[in-house]
Amino acid sequence: MIRVLFADRAENWPRYKAPLAHALAQAGVRAEIVLPDAAAPDSIDYIVYSPMGPVQDFTPFTRAKAVLNLWAGVERVVGNKTLTQPLCRMVDDGLERGMVEYVTGHVLRYHLGLDATLAQQDGIWRHDDGVPPLARNRRVVMLGLGALGAACAQSLSGLGFDVTGWSRSPKQITGITCLDGAAGLRQALSHAEILVSLLPDTPETSNLLNAQTLALLPKGAAIINPGRGTLIDDAALLAALDAGQIGHATLDVFRVEPLPPAHPYWAHPRVTVTPHIAAESRAETAAQVVAENIRRSEAGEALLYLVDRARGY
């Protein structure tokens, strides 16, 4: 019998208890799931981890064979010097579908000009304002073509949008123009009417959207950032919004969360703040990923979604 530690916040245990037990049984893994303080750290075989949970020092977990993160983002754990075990991030169908819905919804909002439509209460029948562009005439750029970025890009492409994606390594995705490298970034930004950022937080992506790169976007472009707050130089974005270079920004993630009430983003007329709700791991589907990785580890098979510690994601 192996021992699995559930090291997320205690309030999440009721949501995960039954799905984890069920998924482990389905995967054919005989396991006892324990909560922090209920078992000696050196008796734990696997750690189901969340950055919000109680485990921050992995040193006492001398027997642990892997740390299985319930979050897609790993920036809060990847640099932990006490972590010597393999670290897996979460790639979960529920998380992916949630992100696809959030991104698609906000892209459609910009594409259709819904904010202006919803604000119309002046009795003016604006029928002759011109023929609006179709999705195929709208250029959307996705920064990051990983599990989430690729799924969002494909969904938008399926709706007909003209989608370009940018990633670190070259990619081929049906229906998406895939770019990489510094020249690829400049090319992608230069025609991004709607820019979506789904990059991880690493030293290389920090402040990727800054005064210089924001200036490459077509004037009036919209930005949607459900990636990480560190991707954006906040002062540069606020200046670009005030100058009209950026038409609107929808921001789900911030350097400091919760976003402090006095932060200028809250009151800015061309910023929409959402409280880090773009996508959540769902207990039923996330538990299956955790169980499958434990099964693999016990069978001597390669782990899924292993984090490259040197790359940082």
Determine the interface stretch with ligand NAP among 53-61, 119-127, 164-172, 294-302 (rule: CB under 6 A).
Answer: 164-172
Query: Helix (H, G, I), strand (E, B), or coil: what is residue 69?
Result: strand
Helices and strands (H and E) in the chain: how many? 9, 12
138 carries an active-site annotation: no
228 carries an active-site annotation: yes
* Smallest gap from residue 87 Cβ to ligand NAP (A): 12
The site map against ligand NAP for 207-246 (x = CB under 6 A) is -------------------xxx------------------
Determine the interface stretch with ligand NAP among 12-20, 30-38, 42-50, 192-200 (rule: CB under 6 A).
Answer: 192-200
The reply to whether 19 sits near ligand NAP by the rule CB under 6 A is: no
Compute CA distances 148 → 101, 104, 143, 175, 176, whole Å.
11, 12, 11, 16, 14
The reply to whether 92 sits near ligand NAP by the rule CB under 6 A is: no
Round to the nearest angstrom and report the end-to-end CA distance of the chain: 31
Q: What angle do CA 35, 20, 63 make, to 5 degrees?
A: 50
* Smallest gap from residue 26 Cβ to ligand NAP (A): 24
Q: Would you say 6 or 71 has its CB closer to ligand NAP?
A: 71
Q: Which tokens go with 121? A: 């209460």
Burial of 144 (0-12, 13-18, 19+ CB in 10 A): buried
How many residues of this chain bind ligand NAP (CB under 6 A)?
A: 29
Closest CB to ligand NAP: residue number: 146
Contact 68, 281 (CB under 8 A): no
Contact 45, 64 (CB under 8 A): yes
Residue whose tokens read 């690829």: 184
The reply to whether 184 sits near ligand NAP by the rule CB under 6 A is: no
- Residue from 278, 286, 287, 289 binding ligand NAP (CB under 6 A): 278
Separation between Cα atoms, residue 281 and residue 99, nearest integer Å = 10
Determine the interface stretch with ligand NAP among 12-20, 76-84, 200-208, 255-263 (rule: CB under 6 A).
Answer: 200-208
* Smallest gap from residue 89 Cβ to ligand NAP (A): 7
Tally of residues, the chain: 313
Provide the annotated active-site residues: 228, 276
Residue numbers of the site for ligand NAP (CB under 6 A)? 72-73, 91, 95, 144-149, 167-169, 198-202, 204-205, 226-228, 252-253, 276, 278-279, 313
